[in-house]
Amino acid sequence: MENSRPNDLAVLVQHKLRLTKSSSTLPELKVLEDLFDCLFYSSMCKEESELIRVTVTFIDPKNPDPAPPRHIVPERWSCVAFDHHVMMTTKSLAKLSKAADPASSSLAVYYDEKGCIYIWGMIDQAMHYQNFLNYESDTGSEQPGLFQVSISDIGTLNVLFDYELLATLKHNVLVKRYLDVLTIGPISKMLRKNADFLKIAVKNYIEQNHPGESYTDWENFLDGLWIQTFSRLLLKIQNYQHGGAILIADDSADLDVKYRIHYERLTLAMVSHARAAIDNFVAESKIEGDLSSGKRSVSKSLYLRETGSFYDKKGTGDEIKGAISFIASQTCVDGVVLFNRSMVSNGFGAVLRAKKMPRKIYVSSTATATPKSLEPHDPRHYGTRHRSMIAYCWNHPSSLGLVISQDGDIRAFSKVEDKLIMWENIKTQQYLTGRSQKQRKA
């Protein structure tokens, strides 16, 4: 939705709040409009020469935790109240944002009987929430308050209800849906096909070391590992805020690679991680089976296998994280990072030499790129980096290109049949829908 304003975001949030059937008193629309106006204009300010990045949680100080879970995990959030309330203005928000890194905390905000918004405290343990969103953790506890709003860039607000991304207001565009191209549609099919190397290696490992295990039971795990690793790479590149590009291609035609390398550690680490995960699962299942059958002890060798595989799983997970950081930093050099189909990095700083451009490209509003979802655009309206990727993917139909802008926007390009398709507003973080959140908590 173009030509949107903070008020449009307020209307959307109020509608969502009414659907939640919360027992809390819901704020009037004017309160939400004032909240988003303040946040939006604060995003254009600077504090100590730095742009403001902060998360606020809309939470009632009189009843901050109305429905705590039966089991409270040690890393769950807590509220730390100020001695006195601070009226929320662009100035006060800018000042407090320096003490509230969104990676570790958020500011608790609410409104008084006159509808004036104030900051009344801080909420800790946000790092676990961020780790879950960024695929750095498999678990995450529920979030406080009615909703959270984060300033991620100039004129950019993200509204979340627990782990569900409701909408993003980016300048004057209201984005209510991000395309999950990494799990469904043509790009997903391409990436899953690229995971064949991982799947073949793990299938052979299961047959040789765990003949009692079915490979098909692990195939979804391997697809998830591959896609999550790719998502984490994109997120890491976004965090540099430098901009960059990734190309997955079969050959080096029409490419001038300035820094050629052969870095396969990311792929090999995924293979090692999958093996360790299988070893650990089998050992844990054996221990649980022995204990449930009446055995009163566990053999030393089985205990050592379970313990060793647990640490191997953790260690290879850290290895993947390190390899992702190594590759992502290469995008800070002008040019393209080049991968083959097995996600082996073959160089960076690459210049795309293909010149022939399609007369039109088609922007897809869905991950599946159905004919009805395609809207024609003139490729000449895009910048140099985008045009060079468009030309390359048009001339090399089996390639997949992704361009990450300095402001974090990601666009993907691939030729589908006789059309060059572009996807934008791509989902990278582990956001959940309302339904999937219920399943996770069940």
Tell me how long the chain is. 442
Residue 273 backbone dihedrals phi, psi, to 5 degrees: -65, -40
Sign of CA dihedral 416, 417, 420, 425: negative
Question: Locate tokens 């790092």: which residue?
Answer: 127
Instruction: Tell me which of 393 and 1 has the higher pLDDT.
Output: 393
- Other Cβ atoms closer than 10 A to 75: 15
Tell me: pLDDT of 347 over 70. yes
In whole angstroms, what is the distance from residue 327 CA to residue 319 CA?
12
> Is the C-alpha dihedral spanning 376, 378, 381, 383 positive or negative?
positive
Q: Encode pLDDT of 271-309 as tens digits.
A: 999 999 999 999 999 999 988 888 888 899 999 999 999
Contacts of 285 (CB under 8 A, 6+ apart): none
CB 419 within 8 A of CB 376: no
Cα(380)–Cα(134) distance, integer angstroms: 34
* pLDDT of amino acid 438: 45
Q: pLDDT confidence of 252, banded at 50, 70, 90?
A: confident
pLDDT at 22: 66
pLDDT greater than 50 at residue 389: yes
436 versus 327: which is more confidently predicted? 327
Judge whether residue 146 has pLDDT over 90.
yes
- Report d(CA 55, CA 160) in Å as an integer: 10
Q: Is 225 or 433 the better-scoring residue by pLDDT?
A: 225
Residue 131 pLDDT > 80: yes
Closest by Cα among 402, 383, 380, 404 to 393:
402
Question: Which residue would you say has higher pLDDT here, 318 or 68?
Answer: 318
The DSSP-derived string for 296-325 is ----HHHHHHHHHHHHHHHHHHHHHHHHHH
Tell me, what's the pLDDT at 435? 44
Residue 243 backbone class (left: φ over 0; alpha: ψ -120 to 50; beta: rest): left
Whether residue 23 has pLDDT greater than 90? no
Q: How confident is the model at residue 432 (pLDDT cuts 50, 70, 90)?
A: low
Domains of the chain plus CATH, in order, are 6-177 (no CATH), 186-423 (3.40.1700.10)
3-class state of residue 52 by DSSP: coil
**Amino acid, res. 184:** I
Please state the rounded mean pLDDT for residues 25-48: 93
Task: For residue 292, give both structure tokens.
Answer: 């449930």
21 pLDDT above the threshold of 70 = no
Residue 433: per-residue pLDDT: 58
| Sign, CA torsion 209/212/213/214 | positive
What is the pLDDT of the chain when averaged over all its residues?
91
Residue 35 has pLDDT above 60, yes or no: yes
Q: Is the pLDDT of residue 240 over 70?
A: yes
Percent of the chain past pLDDT 70, that is, above it, reads: 96
Q: What is the DSSP string of 176-217?
A: ---B-TTTSSHHHHHHHHHTHHHHHHHHHHHHHH-TTS-THH
Q: Regarding predicted confidence, which is higher, 26 or 40?
A: 40
